[in-house]
Chains A and B, each alone.
Chain A
């Protein structure tokens, strides 16, 4: 239908500023050489942001670059390039897209790849990987990249946190994990000092860590405004507004962005301006990275009166006071505590509900806080770390919480060949009808 074909409209003005952020990050890598700065291949959600920023290392985010390629529907050439070197399509397509790009750039002796979206990323001076419980490409991606840029030094730190065991109190073990993570970060600092030839400015690191904490708080305060009915912002926008938090943490620009977004959302709430005129269904985006080439699907939901006031994806923070972090003067130890406490934040709740798991507790908390009628998961096949557990999460949710409508969409983050718009819309239509029936049943 004609109304479904409209291009994605953003609900907030703030989201409109995001392309500048993304472009800025990419071009910063291209300008770094002139400015005498070092570039590092970096990976999101790994606790390394403040260290890079404090040492003036310019992060080149593969995930962001691959996302841009996908959104512009221009990733295929990079995926095919990697495939030609035997990287399977079922591997993380953020990784394979970026590796394909690296291969092309190396064939041009490190010069920019013509036609790469927004100029692409500069050849890095180092690779700062972070193996962690999140996913296996965090180890293998830097290793595979090094095949093509063998002269570039690699550091892969390990940021762990206690695994969940309903019979054990993880707090008994967390000090060990915090020490381990802080030691890893210390090693990272030494590595960066060696590559940059500069010493860490510890006061600057402390100040940036404080700025990050403030940004974590403001980010959550801002997002919690979306509890309002009608919600002033949708996950379709959040897939944009996550950028400063995810890729620009420990910068004043990121903090200022959320200040503006906070003010804008408050104003919208005061004006009772929702994402859609007649908000009928509130849905939680329960897990999974989106198909960057199909963000218009959020609009498709919106056109049916469905909004997403909350999402688990890219909400990689909590209010600092809720994490109850022990006081320390060592910024690395502080980052380590924040890391461990964030990833274990829903453990206590999960232990209290037999059969539950932390990820499901988080979903339940959001369903209740944001008054959601249903949950959508996106199973992006090449992101195994999310993909593998989605059905288990959906089943556990139904078992421990109740029969809430759930839709599992299937696709990929970058590989458009996984996507069929008509089928996706058909599933969404059926899900909306299911939500409607469930709401009527509830009365």
Chain B
């Protein structure tokens, strides 16, 4: 009988689901709504459809991310720090430092054999996070997903001295009015984010290989700016948004296997997927 394991990562802006058996069965990314619980239910349903599975086919479910405690049907909650480490280790085993740039926060994680040895988080300030890029993209009228490629066309990155999101937005508008090109400004903004992220992660002893995850890793301009800061190339997993959910699914599988090797059954939360509507 095949066992299926699900990892559900509810971040501040995106919800990610990964279903695995001995291989990847399905992965799905959707936006996080104000009511994580309801959405978790929906995204999970879609992921199950994709994999051609029913909820009762899942052997164990692990939730991670900021919204993890709001998932009623998860058997276990584990922080995104541990899950990212596990997920990245399975994809890129040589990685020793992970830089995760999310929508509302960024983190640095040191790992050894797939286990976390140290971490730092920036969760108090939008600078150095995806939110910073979002605000600036909005102000420049450029779609967020185009920021990266546009920055690569810059002749010279503009200097953005403010690290505060609000002041930086003001500074960008001023420079724009003074004739600075959009591409140069975007490159400057990427450098600013990279500097913030670098100064955060530097609190850990950064050791290569370094992997970038989270939404920030999908922005080629930011990845290049970070490589310049680090002084060497960084690795980006094929789908950098799902490493946390993947790690969660893998940990679920390990928990299950550990229990069964010891002749025990892991305790499940006992909630059906349909019960999520109970919370609406």
- Mark A residues whose CB is within 8 Å of B: 1, 391, 395, 398, 403, 405-406, 408, 410, 418, 420, 422-423, 426-427, 429-430, 433-434, 437-438, 440-441
Contacts and interface: CB of A to CB of B under 8 A. Distances in A.
Contacts of B117: 403, 405, 434, 437-438
B79 to A, nearest CB: 4
B121 A437 contact: no
9 contacts: A403-B117, A408-B203, A420-B123, A426-B79, A430-B79, A433-B79, A434-B116, A434-B118, A437-B115
Nearest first, the 9 closest Cβ-Cβ pairs linking A and B are A430-B81, A437-B115, A430-B79, A423-B123, A433-B82, A429-B79, A434-B116, A391-B203, A433-B79
B124 interface: yes
A429 B113 CA distance: 20
A427 B124 CA distance: 12
Contacts of B69: 1
Given A1-B69, A430-B81, A433-B116, A423 B121 contact: yes
Q: What is the predominant secondary structure among interface residues of chain A facing chain B? A: helix
A433 B123 contact: no
Nearest to A422: B66
B137 interface: no
B39 interface: no
A429 B120 CA distance: 13
Interface in B112-140: 112-113, 115-121, 123-124
B78 interface: yes
B123 to A, nearest CB: 4
B124 A420 contact: yes
B199 to A, nearest CB: 11
Nearest to B111: A437
Nearest to B69: A1
A345 to B, nearest CB: 29
Contact of A410 (B79, B80, B124): B124
Interface in B51-73: 66, 69
A418 B117 CA distance: 26
Given A426-B66, A433-B79, A433-B81, A441 B123 contact: no
B102 to A, nearest CB: 12
Contacts of A403: 117-118
A427 B118 contact: no
Contacts of B113: 441
Given A430-B119, A430-B121, 15 more contacts: A403-B117, A408-B203, A422-B66, A423-B105, A423-B121, A426-B66, A426-B79, A426-B121, A427-B121, A430-B81, A430-B82, A433-B81, A434-B118, A434-B119, A437-B117
A402 to B, nearest CB: 11
B78 A433 contact: yes
Contacts of A426: 66, 79, 121, 123
Which of the listed residues B66, B105, B124, B203 has the most CB atoms from chain A within 10 Å of its own CB? B124
B85 to A, nearest CB: 9
A427 B115 CA distance: 16
Nearest to A438: B117
Contacts of A440: 115
A148 B234 CA distance: 57
Nearest to B83: A433
Which of the listed residues B66, B69, B80, B117 has the most CB atoms from chain A within 10 Å of its own CB? B117
Nearest to A419: B124
Contacts of B203: 391, 408
A410 B120 CA distance: 11
Given A429-B79, A430-B79, A430-B82, A408 B123 contact: no
A408 B120 contact: yes
Contacts of B81: 430, 433-434
